[in-house]
Structure 1
Amino acid sequence: MNRVIHPIEQESFRRLRTRLDTSHFPPLTRAVVERVIHSAADLDYATDLVMDEGALEKAYAALHAGAPVVVDVEMVAAGITRRETVCRLKDAEAGPGLTRSAHAIRLAYEQVGPGALWVIGNAPTALEELLTLDVSPALVIGLPVGFVGAAESKAALRESGLPAVSNVSEKGGSAVAAAALNALLYHPTSYAEAAEHSEEKS
């Protein structure tokens, strides 16, 4: 079932594209960049975001094949309206050297195992904890926000070599993390067919 796009959203993207040329980005990268910018009204994300089109293609396939989606907080879950998500923050407890957010990530991993898409938009400690686990993710959307640990946790994500969407600066947040996942959810399924066809020809 195709998503019905509200006229306000259509106009918003039209205005975005008059102010920023995104045509040089490959398809999924462009989709993520534009939807993140749309969610924050912040054009700087065009140069702040870091991702790889090949990793996005694999994540897109996993997502549309039904891979679990794990979020760090309910605010991220609230922004992902077309897919059920796993959030274990309500079940988590802080302990010595462990925040509730980090414990929630441990609980979620015990529940879903490897191959999930992880969407971290709030807590740097959640992303830090994720990097200590053998999650073998389909994708990590690591966009936590804050002046303490956010930029450092995202740098560690990039250094880990895991398939990821991150950004260099301290900004981020639940809305932009959800937007990055939604970009993959909303992208036309015909994209997958086109990608398959392209691989067969190469």
Structure 2
Amino acid sequence: MNRVVHPIEQESFRRLRARLDTSHFPPLTRAVVERVIHSAADLDYATDLVTDEGALEKAHAALHAGAPVVVDVEMVAAGITRRETVCRLKDARATPSLTRSAHAVRLAYEQVGPGALWVIGCAPTALEELLTLDAAPALVIGLPVGFVGAAESKAALRESGLPAVSNISEKGGSAVAAAALNALLYHPVSHAQKAPKENS
């Protein structure tokens, strides 16, 4: 089913593109960059975001093939409008050595196993914990926000070599993390992706 785009959203993207040339980005990178900028009304994300088109292509295929989507907080889940998500924060408990957000990541990994898309927009400790697990993610959207640990956790994500969307600065948040995932959800699936592979 095709998504119906509201006229206000159409006009917002028209104005965005009038102020910022995004035509040089490859298709999925452009979709992510534009939707994140749209969610925050912040053009600086065009140079702050770090993405890889090849990783996005694989993540897009995994997402549309039904890979689980895990979020760190309900605010991220609320922003992902066309997909069920896993959030275990309500079940998590803080300990002297583990934040509640980090414990929620452990619980979610026990539930979904490898191959999920992880969307972290609030807690740097959730992202840090994910990096200690053998999660083999399809993609990590790591966009936590804050003055303590956010930039450092995103740098660690980039250094990990995992397929990821991150940003360099301390900014981020639930809305932009959800927007990055929505960009992949809304981007059309090609005929080649839809067609089942025939056995030779």
TM-score band (shorter)? Answer: over 0.9
Q: C-alpha offsets along residues 96-154 of structure 1, whole Å, 9 cap, x if unaligned? A: 11000000000000000000000000000000000000000000000000000000000
In the alignment, structure 1 segments of 5+ residues that lack a partner are none
> Residues 142 and 201 of structure 1: is their aligned pair in 2 closer, same or farther, counting only changes over 3 Å?
farther
Q: 1:71-99 deviations in whole A, cap 9, x for unaligned?
A: 00000000001000000000000001100
Q: Distance in 1 between matches of 2:144 and 2:117?
A: 15
Q: How far apart in 1 are the matches of 2:198 and 2:172? A: 37
Aligned to 1:26: 26
Offset at residue 188 of structure 1 (A)? 1.1
How far apart are 1:191 and its partner, in Å?
A: 7.1
- Matching residue of 1:182: 182
Residues 201 and 172 from structure 1, CA distance in 2 versus in 1: closer, same or farther, beyond 3 angstroms? farther
Distance 1:41 1:201 in 2: 47
Alpha-carbon distance between aligned partners in 2 of 1:40 and 1:184, rounded to the nearest angstrom: 17
State the match for 1:193 in structure 2. Answer: 193
Tell me, in whole angstroms, the C-alpha distance in 2 between the residues paired with 1:45 and 1:133: 28
8 Å CA contact 2:32, 2:183 repeated in 1: yes
Percent of matched pairs sharing the same residue: 91
Deviation at 1:201, TM superposition (A): 19
Asked if 2 retains the 8 angstrom alpha-carbon contact of 1:116 and 1:138, the reply is yes
TM-score, structure 2 as length reference: 0.96
Tell me, yes or no, if structure 1 residue 155 matches structure 2 residue 159. Answer: no
CA RMSD between the two structures: 2.5
Structure 2: how far apart are the matches of 1:191 and 1:34? 24
Aligned residues: 199
1:147-202: per-residue Cα shift (whole Å, max 9, x none)?
A: 0000000000000000000000000000000000000000011376599xxx9999
SS of 2:107 mapped into structure 1 = helix
CA distance in 1, matches of 2:100, 2:194: 42
